[in-house]
Amino acid sequence: MNKLIKIDSINDIPSEYRTTPVGLLFEYHNLERPSESYDKAQLLIGMCMDNRKHLHMPDNFAFIIRSGGANLRYSEFKVSYAIGVGQVRHIALIGHNNCGMVNLIARKNEFIDGLVNSAGWERDRAEEHFFHFAPMFEIGSETDFILSETKRLRLRYPKIVIAPMFYLVEDNKLYLIDER
Ligand SMILES: [Zn+2]
């Protein structure tokens, strides 16, 4: 796994992010900065749909797109909307450890049985569904995926600042993923 940069004080936030909405997200979530009021979103957050994560930040501070593994490849229109109409200039892309989108093939039977037993699907359709979509949603490694998705989004939206971040489910803190 790539190295995580711990953010325990304002000085730990790298200067390129410190006075930006990305730095503010670290301050609100990790450093107990008091809530402020916002009349429009400052930031777009892309994060996994996983239920173990909760962000501490003020109302109206951010748009949030949640999808398996924080994969925004299939949410690009929403990203463009947040930038074009919502006027955000910063994106925090947040992965997390123990992500269910890693090694999907290991959950194949569970996935198919669940659809058959709980949703009333035919087994053939459930299998086809799994094999069609699993390669699109598999992320391989949580940190590598966030770094590659960060690079892809920087090429796609060159004037937008994009920070690769990580949520550790054990301590519920946000980290920066070391890009060096
Ligand atoms: Zn996840």
* Average pLDDT taken over every residue of the chain: 97
What's the whole-model pTM score?
A: 0.95
Distance 123 CA to ligand 1 centre (A): 26
Q: Check pLDDT > 70 for residue 129.
A: yes
Q: What is the pLDDT of residues 150-179, one digit of tens each?
A: 999 999 999 999 999 999 999 999 999 999
C-alpha pair distances (Å), 26 with each of 20, 121, 147, 149: 10, 43, 18, 20
> Closest by alpha carbon to 60, among 34, 81, 37, 83?
37
Torsions phi, psi for 93 (to 5 deg): -105, 115
Determine the average pLDDT of the residues in 47-61: 95
Using a CB cutoff of 5 Å, list residues around ligand 1, an ion.
48, 50, 99
Distance 174 CA to ligand 1 centre (A): 14
- SS3 of residue 27 by DSSP: helix
Give Cβ neighbours of residue 2 (< 8 Å, ≥ 6 apart): 143, 144, 147, 177, 178
Amino acid, res. 160:
I
